[in-house]
Amino acid sequence: MKFNFDSKTISCQIPSGILLGLLSMLISQYIHLPLIPTKIHYLVFVIVILDFLHLIGKLQFDISNLFRREPTFRNLGNEKLPKIFQIYVEEHIVFLVVFYLSIFLTRILLHSFHK
């Protein structure tokens, strides 16, 4: 699989990944709402699902490009499921790597401060 990285998209995905990783970790550590799961794996699942729904054209906002000024609209129509996953990974690998890395680093920092 060949990856095509656009510097404009990457410059939006890196801050979005950092911001959402930090927010997810802080929410999971400090906010507990009744009837709403705030554990980190639920929050990660919600973010990935929202991002995937944008990819297939069901949502108008792109959670992996929060810092992009113009909205992105997408409709994959009759694409097959493996092709949709390939497009998702190609376009969002930087966001997902930075997102998980920021969760990991934030978790380490929060646990070191609690000791």
Is the per-residue pLDDT at 86 higher than 70? yes
Kindly state whether residue 16 falls inside one of the protein's structural domains: yes
**Per-residue pLDDT reduced to its tens digit, 3-56:** 666 777 778 788 888 888 888 888 888 887 777 777 888 888 888 888 878 777
State the total domains in the chain: 1
Residue numbers of the domain that contains 36:
7-114
Percent of the chain at pLDDT > 70 equals 83
pLDDT above 70 for 76 = no
55, part of any domain = yes
HEC readout, the chain: CCCCCCHHHHHHHHHHHHHHHHHHHHHHHHCCECCECCCHHHHHHHHHHHHHHHHCCCCCCCHHHCCCCCCCCCCCCCCCHHHHHHHHHHHHHHHHHHHHHHHHHHHHHHHHHHC
1 assigned to some structural domain: no
2 occurs within a structural domain: no
